């Protein structure tokens, strides 16, 4: 296994600027991720904050992580947190089936790597924490994975669908027989496949819900690295954030007004806000009597669900926040604030979307007497298997094409293989046709002035015939180069599936089953966390 780097960053304007030229967007953030002194400043700030709840939180973390099958290093890290001796580097993600897209794995790697790096540089214990987004209710987003095949990505979907907007952490695991059958059919009978299938079966059987299943699989992959998982849906965790929910409710619409101001600031700088500040939104959800997660809104002095079938005064709902905090959960705006309330967060390892929405939260952090943590981009990785590596070498495909796509490269290849110069031949034909037809029309126009107009229509028809002929010749040329085109498209399918970065589409388990779980360790030790460029990892 080896690594190469491509000097490319996110295509989205704001996170791309964040990574290339932080100075342009620094006013949206609290700390500069490039400067060690900023981490020291953040460290002092976090250590000065009261964290009396850490004992209760640590007990919950211990129980939850032991249930996931964690290792001794994770338990040791939780003990350090309990004693107030550790800071955290945090990341988070919705609990996708079989761990979801590859970038979930890369987030975990980045978090572990940054925690290790900062522990050495600050001479202080920094532990990695993974926030399982178990309160998320977007089942359609997490219920499937894509498997790489020679013909492109193949979608596999988990059977079943919840009756309503139920948090993933409350959804029992449905029958996975069909999922496993499809997985077995698509993957070759080599490597670690049988063990991988058994791992998936066992963890699904042991887990109480989709979030736990996710946690068990992630724990298996990262058991040796001390990664601590937190499940915010658990009532004991929610209880710690009751006062935070109370302030959101009783001071409405303050949070939404602050968000609107940040959105306007971002628009003024020429960027589109990642989170559109929806009018009247409270930025909390509540669980109704069916367990469905409903957004709350503040309007005309009252708080209600979206359709207005339930309403409360600020006082009524504020009291409910204090007496039954498990009835509430934060949205994407308040989640980082809840995270800050629970943990001594030194840095957050973020994807491109998260970088953009964190940029809107500085005012909201300040409103709750907090500061935003250091925001650190997660690693961007494309993995290349041996067959694809050979094809890349054969056709001399630049590594940049593995990030930006091969469409232009394929067209250029066809032009290079065109010994006849098809396009030039037909351009010359069109030019000659226009010239000769024009001469004929000019001569004949003396018979009748209408002939000139007739000639123009005739020329259009002739050009269409030539264009059609040209397209058929090009198709024949493509057919003659079909083997090369298919091989280049195979590279495209494996590196830019569906026109997206590989890490956003494919899942880790096809690679784990083929090469074994040891690839996690190999990849982790290969990447340099402080190098933000696109990483191309070649498997042996």
Binned average pLDDT, 10 residues per bin, the chain of 540 residues: 90 92 97 97 83 88 98 97 93 98 99 98 97 95 94 94 91 94 93 96 97 98 98 91 97 96 96 86 96 95 95 98 96 96 97 96 97 97 97 95 90 88 92 91 87 90 93 89 93 95 97 97 97 96
Distance between CA atoms of residues 218 and 92, nearest Å: 12
Tell me what pLDDT residue 236 has.
Answer: 86
Same domain, 65 and 211: yes
Q: Which residues pair with 153 in a beta bridge?
A: 148
- 310 contact partners, CB below 8 Å, separation of at least 6: 288, 304
* Pair 299, 311: CB distance under 8 Å: no
Tell me what pLDDT residue 520 has.
Answer: 98
Same domain, 64 and 106: yes
Same domain, 390 and 455: yes
Tell me what pLDDT residue 163 has.
Answer: 85
Scan for tokens 């007496």, then name that residue: 323
Same domain, 320 and 394: no
Distance between CA atoms of residues 50 and 43, nearest Å: 13
Q: Is 376 helix (H, G, I), strand (E, B) or coil?
A: strand
Give the total number of structural domains in the chain: 3
409 within a domain of the structure (yes/no) = yes
Q: State the average pLDDT for the chain.
A: 94
Final residue belonging to a domain, choices 302, 326, 350: 326
- 516 contact partners, CB below 8 Å, separation of at least 6: 191, 192
302 within a domain of the structure (yes/no) = yes
Domain containing residue 440: 386-500
The 3 state secondary structure assigned to 45-99 is: HHHCCCCCCHHHHHHHHHHHHHHHCCCHHHHHHHHHHHCCCCEEEEEEECCCHHH
Same domain, 221 and 265: no
Same domain, 294 and 170: no
The 3 state secondary structure assigned to 6-44 is: ECCCCCCHHHHHHHHCHHHCHHHCCCCCCCHHHHHHHHH
Tell me what pLDDT residue 219 has.
Answer: 99
Tell me what pLDDT residue 38 has.
Answer: 97
Same domain, 136 and 69: yes
The 3 state secondary structure assigned to 303-355 is: EEECCCCCEECHHHHHHHHHHCHHHEEECCCCHHHHHHHHCCEEEEEECHHHH
Tell me what pLDDT residue 312 has.
Answer: 98
Same domain, 93 and 68: yes
8-state DSSP, 531: -
Same domain, 22 and 8: yes
Tell me what pLDDT residue 47 has.
Answer: 77
538 within a domain of the structure (yes/no) = no
506 within a domain of the structure (yes/no) = no
Radius of gyration, alpha carbons of the chain: 29
* Pair 341, 232: CB distance under 8 Å: no
Same domain, 209 and 245: no
Sheet holding 302-305, edge to edge: 311-312, 302-305, 293-299, 281-287, 328-330
* Pair 105, 537: CB distance under 8 Å: no
Same domain, 178 and 259: no
DSSP per residue, 169-204: GGPPP---HHHHHHHHHHS-S-TTHHHHHHHHHHHH
537 within a domain of the structure (yes/no) = no
Tell me what pLDDT residue 370 has.
Answer: 95
540 within a domain of the structure (yes/no) = no
- 531 contact partners, CB below 8 Å, separation of at least 6: 5
Same domain, 179 and 254: no
Closest residue by Cα to residue 260 from 317, 333, 312: 333
539 within a domain of the structure (yes/no) = no
8-state DSSP, 503: G
Distance between CA atoms of residues 247 and 472, nearest Å: 69
Scan for tokens 């988990």, then name that residue: 158
Q: Helix (H) and strand (E) counts for the chain?
A: 24, 15
- 353 contact partners, CB below 8 Å, separation of at least 6: 12, 15, 274
Q: What are phi and psi of 229, to 5 degrees?
A: -100, 140
Tell me what pLDDT residue 42 has.
Answer: 96
Distance between CA atoms of residues 163 and 174, nearest Å: 13
């Amino acid at each position: 296994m080896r690594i190469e780097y491509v000097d490319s960053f996110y295509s989205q304007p704001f996170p791309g600027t964040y990574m290339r030229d932080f100075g342009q967007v620094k006013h949206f953030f609290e700390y500069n991720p490039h400067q060690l002194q900023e981490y020291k400043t953040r460290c002092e700030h976090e250590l000065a904050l009261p964290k009396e709840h850490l004992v209760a939180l640590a007990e919950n973390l211990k129980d939850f992580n032991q249930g996931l099958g964690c290792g001794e290093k994770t338990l040791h890290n939780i003990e350090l947190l309990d004693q107030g001796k550790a800071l955290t580097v945090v990341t988070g993600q919705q609990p996708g089936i079989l761990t979801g897209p590859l970038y979930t794995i890369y987030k975990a790697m980045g978090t572990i790597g940054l925690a290790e790096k900062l522990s050495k540089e600050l001479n202080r214990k920094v532990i990695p924490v993974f926030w399982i987004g178990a309160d998320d209710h977007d089942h359609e987003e997490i219920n499937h994975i894509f498997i790489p095949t020679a013909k492109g990505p193949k979608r596999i979907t988990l059977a079943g669908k919840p009756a309503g907007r139920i948090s993933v952490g409350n959804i029992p695991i449905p029958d996975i027989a069909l999922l496993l059958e499809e997985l077995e059919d698509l993957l070759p009978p080599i490597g670690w496949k049988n063990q991988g299938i058994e791992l998936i079966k066992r963890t699904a059987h042991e887990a109480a819900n989709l979030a736990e299943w996710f946690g068990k699989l992630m724990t298996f992959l990262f058991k040796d690295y001390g990664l601590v998982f937190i499940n915010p849906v658990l009532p004991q965790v929610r209880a710690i954030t009751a006062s935070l929910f109370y302030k959101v409710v009783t001071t409405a619409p303050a949070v939404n007004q602050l968000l609107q101001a940040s959105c306007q600031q971002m628009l003024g700088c020429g960027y589109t806000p990642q989170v559109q500040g929806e009018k009247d939104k409270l930025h909390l959800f509540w669980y109704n009597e069916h367990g469905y997660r409903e957004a709350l809104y503040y309007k005309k002095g009252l708080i209600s669900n979206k359709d207005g079938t339930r309403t409360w005064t600020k006082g009524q709902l504020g009291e409910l926040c204090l007496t039954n905090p498990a009835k509430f959960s934060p949205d994407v705006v308040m989640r980082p604030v809840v995270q800050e309330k629970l943990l001594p967060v030194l840095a957050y390892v973020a994807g491109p979307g998260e970088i953009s929405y964190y940029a809107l939260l500085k005012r909201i952090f300040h409103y709750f007497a907090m500061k935003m943590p250091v925001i650190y981009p997660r690693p961007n990785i494309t993995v290349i298997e041996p067959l694809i590596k050979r094809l890349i070498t054969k056709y001399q495909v630049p590594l940049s094409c593995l990030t930006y796509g091969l469409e232009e490269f394929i067209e250029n290849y066809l032009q290079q293989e065109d010994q006849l110069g098809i396009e030039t031949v037909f351009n010359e034909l069109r030019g000659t046709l226009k010239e000769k037809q024009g001469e004929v029309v000019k001569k004949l126009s003396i018979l009748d002035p209408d002939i000139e107009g007739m000639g123009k229509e005739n020329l259009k028809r002739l050009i269409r015939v030539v264009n059609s002929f040209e397209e058929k010749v090009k198709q024949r040329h493509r057919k003659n180069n079909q083997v090369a085109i298919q091989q280049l498209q195979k590279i495209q399918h494996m590196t830019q599936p569906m026109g997206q970065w590989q890490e956003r589409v494919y899942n880790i388990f096809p690679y784990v089953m083929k090469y074994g779980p040891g690839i996690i360790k190999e990849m982790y030790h290969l990447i340099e966390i402080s190098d933000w460029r696109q990483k191309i990892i070649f498997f042996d």
